[in-house]
Each structure stands twice: as structure tokens, then as C-alpha cells.
């Protein structure tokens, strides 16, 4: 039995990059299809069977579009910003376990690229660092819509970081560890966290939607109000990197919710663990599309009101009550 080496970690990093990019591309197709079905439309149908090759068509379009940098933009920041979004999204995924550990060719493979013992903190920190993508993009592009988008980015992400952290604090107190693997092991002996911490789950979902910039809270690029927000001046592959980053973040939040609250990759009745977590992640992803099809945007002031006057006090109360229960 051999342990994985540096080579293994490099292979895993490449796999994460490749698979998540592919899934992010496929996610756009799924999103368009699901939204279409919910509005009783067909969605993409003409490129390939059931429109499956639409992803390829979109990819070709993104790659061949003119790479455009506005005249008065801060060119360096403008070029770096999409990379920040994509990179932080992928780095966050490196500390997330998705599958059970397995053995291949006699080599024991823990299926996590970097098993840091502060997993949750690292992932949340990386997603918080992702704030700099939209922020710098909006500020560098010399466009008023971009500036508004950047301002909203700062307000939204920083506010909801607080809610995410506080809502996850209660499960962390119960598990007593920051490692996501410990969270998964906790699920093997206890009922799912969602039944013990329903309030934390709801708060985490709401904050997760806000941090991945999904529809009830996609104020950063609300096209009805501010054209495309921080992405107004972007085109081609730079815009595509924002897109991939957003979808990678959606996957990260789905994985986090599955592992922390929905039992992770422990076996479920007859379903093996790897399939169980894929189903859970798929359901969380579907939930994001479902919500997008169902609910309207919120107004920015309502959004801040929600964060600071409702969600944060609730999270604090939840933490306090959890603490009292644990002590007693």
C-alpha cells in the first residue's frame, strides 16, 4: 500500500480543473434546459441531439470573440480580475472532499487534493477572496454600471460572508473540527446535520445563494438595473472566466451543503457513498436553477435589510442556543 505523493496531488489538481470546467460548461446547458422546462419551453434543441453540443458552440463563440479592453480601463486590473474569480473558485475546490477514499492500482487515494485541517475556513476564505474578481473588474473598466456592480459586490459579499460564517459556526461547534472530512465522519454516527441544525441550513443556503451570485440575489449583474454590472465591458474568454468561476462556486456551495448538512459521502441505505453525494450535489445544483425559475430579484436595500436585520441575528441566536445545548 502506497500513499499518494506530490505527483498524485498534481494529478488531482489537474483533474479538478478539467472536470469542474467541463461540469461548469455542462451546467450552463443544464441551466438553460431546466429553466426552459419550467417555463414549458424546449431550450436549446438544434445543435446536436437535444442541443447537447450547444456547449461546444458556446465555447467556440467565447474563444473566438474579440478580446476587448476599454480605452480608459486600468488594463492590468481589467485583465487580472477574471483570473481571480476563476482561480479562487478552483482553489476553494481543492480543499473539498467529494468522494470516499479509494484504492487504485494498489495505491491508496484520499479523494481530496489538499486535506487541510481547517477545510471549512479555507474554502470560505477562498470564496471570500473571490470578491476581488467582480470588485476589481467593476472598478477597473471605467464604466458607471461596472462601478455600481463593484459597489454592490463589496456590500453583498462582505455582508453575506458574515452570515455564512455564523451559520456554519453552530455545526462546527457540534462537530468540534474545521476539517470537512471530520464533518463527513460525524454524519456516519449521527443523523444528518440538516435535522439537527435546520436554521443553520436555511441560513447557509440563503447566504450561499448570495455568495454565488444566484438569482434572488444576483444584484451584481442584474441586467434589468445595471446592464451586466461588473461584467458590462467584458467579452469573449474573459467573460467566460467569470462564468466558469460562478458555476464552480455553485458547485462548491453544493458540495459544502451536501457534506456539512446532507450527510456527505456516507453510504445511504443501498446507495453507495459516491453516488449518494453526486445525487445530493445534483439536487443542490437543481435547487439553484429551480429557485432562479421561481423567484424574482430582491431590491438592494431589502437585501441588506435581510442580511443584517434578519439573517445575522438569527445566526447569532442559533449559535448561542447551540452552545447552551452543548454545555447542558
CB 166 within 8 A of CB 143: no
Residues 169-188 interacting with other proteins (rule: CB under 8 A): none
CB 277 within 8 A of CB 98: yes
Instruction: Extract the runs of DSSP E, i.e. beta strands, from the chain.
Output: 102-104, 107-109
Place of cell 494529478: 11
Instruction: Find the part of the chain contacting other proteins (CB under 8 A) among 36-44, 69-77, 157-165, 252-260.
Output: 36-44
Angle at 147 between CA 141 and CA 148, to 5 degrees: 145
Pick 232 or 254: Cβ nearer other proteins: 254
Kindly state whether residue 282 participates in binding other proteins, applying the rule CB under 8 A: no
Residue 104 grid cell = 487504485
Q: How many residues bind other proteins (CB under 8 A)?
A: 14
Contacts of 295 (CB under 8 A, 6+ apart): 215, 216
In whole angstroms, the minimum distance from the beta carbon of 110 to other proteins comes to 37
Out of 290, 297, 300, 304, the residue judged to bind other proteins by CB under 8 A = 290
Kindly state whether residue 310 participates in binding other proteins, applying the rule CB under 8 A: yes
Instruction: Find the part of the chain contacting other proteins (CB under 8 A) among 63-71, 146-154, 254-262, 292-300.
Output: 292-300
Pick 198 or 323: Cβ nearer other proteins: 198
Distance CA 187, CA 176 (A): 13
Kindly state whether residue 291 participates in binding other proteins, applying the rule CB under 8 A: yes
Kindly state whether residue 114 participates in binding other proteins, applying the rule CB under 8 A: no
Out of 2, 10, 41, 271, the residue judged to bind other proteins by CB under 8 A = 41
Out of 5, 103, 117, 294, the residue judged to bind other proteins by CB under 8 A = 294
Question: Quick one: which of 89, 198, 170, 165 has its CA closest to 133?
Answer: 89
Q: How many C-beta atoms lie closer than 10 Å to residue 195's C-beta? A: 11
CB 258 within 8 A of CB 288: no
Instruction: Find the part of the chain contacting other proteins (CB under 8 A) among 33-41, 103-111, 157-165, 316-324.
Output: 33-41
Kindly state whether residue 302 participates in binding other proteins, applying the rule CB under 8 A: no
Instruction: Find the part of the chain contacting other proteins (CB under 8 A) among 52-60, 89-97, 241-249, 289-297.
Output: 289-297
Question: Quick one: which of 154, 84, 167 has its CA closest to 126?
Answer: 84
Instruction: Find the part of the chain contacting other proteins (CB under 8 A) among 39-47, 52-60, 74-82, 118-126.
Output: 39-47
Q: How many C-beta atoms lie closer than 10 Å to residue 267's C-beta? A: 14
Interaction site with other proteins (CB under 8 A): 34, 37-42, 45, 290-291, 293-295, 310
Amino acid at each position: 500500500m502506497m500513499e499518494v505523493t506530490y505527483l498524485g496531488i498534481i494529478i488531482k489538481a489537474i483533474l479538478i480543473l478539467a472536470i469542474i470546467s467541463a461540469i461548469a460548461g455542462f451546467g450552463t446547458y443544464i441551466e438553460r434546459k431546466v429553466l426552459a422546462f419550467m417555463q414549458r419551453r424546449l431550450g436549446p434543441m438544434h445543435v446536436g441531439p437535444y442541443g447537447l453540443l450547444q456547449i461546444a458552440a458556446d465555447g467556440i463563440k467565447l474563444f473566438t470573440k474579440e478580446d476587448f479592453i476599454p480605452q480608459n480601463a486600468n488594463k492590468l486590473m481589467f485583465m487580472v480580475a477574471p483570473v481571480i474569480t476563476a482561480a479562487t473558485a478552483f482553489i476553494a475546490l481543492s480543499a473539498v472532499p467529494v468522494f470516499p477514499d479509494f484504492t487504485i492500482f494498489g495505491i491508496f487515494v484520499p479523494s481530496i487534493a489538499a486535506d487541510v485541517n481547517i477545510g471549512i475556513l479555507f474554502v470560505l476564505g477562498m470564496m471570500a477572496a473571490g470578491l476581488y474578481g467582480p470588485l476589481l473588474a467593476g472598478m477597473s473598466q471605467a464604466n458607471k454600471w461596472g462601478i455600481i456592480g463593484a459597489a454592490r459586490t463589496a456590500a453583498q459579499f462582505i455582508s453575506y460572508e458574515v452570515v455564512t460564517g455564523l451559520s456554519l459556526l453552530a455545526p462546527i461547534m457540534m462537530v468540534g473540527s474545521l476539517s470537512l472530512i471530520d464533518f463527513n465522519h460525524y454524519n456516519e454516527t449521527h443523523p444528518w446535520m440538516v435535522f439537527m441544525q435546520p436554521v443553520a441550513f436555511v441560513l447557509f443556503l440563503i447566504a450561499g445563494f448570495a455568495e454565488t451570485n444566484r438569482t434572488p440575489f444576483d444584484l451584481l449583474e442584474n441586467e434589468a438595473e445595471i446592464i451586466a454590472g461588473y461584467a458590462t465591458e467584458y467579452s469573449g474568454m474573459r467573460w467566460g472566466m467569470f462564468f466558469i468561476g460562478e458555476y464552480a462556486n455553485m458547485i462548491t456551495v453544493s458540495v459544502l451543503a451536501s457534506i456539512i448538512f446532507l450527510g456527505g459521502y456516507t453510504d445511504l441505505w443501498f446507495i453507495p457513498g459516491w453516488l449518494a453525494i453526486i445525487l445530493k450535489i445534483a439536487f443542490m445544483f437543481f435547487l439553484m436553477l429551480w429557485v432562479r425559475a421561481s423567484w424574482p430579484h430582491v431590491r438592494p436595500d431589502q437585501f441588506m435589510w435581510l442580511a443584517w436585520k434578519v439573517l445575522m441575528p438569527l445566526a447569532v441566536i442559533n449559535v448561542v442556543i447551540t452552545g447552551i445545548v452543548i454545555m447542558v
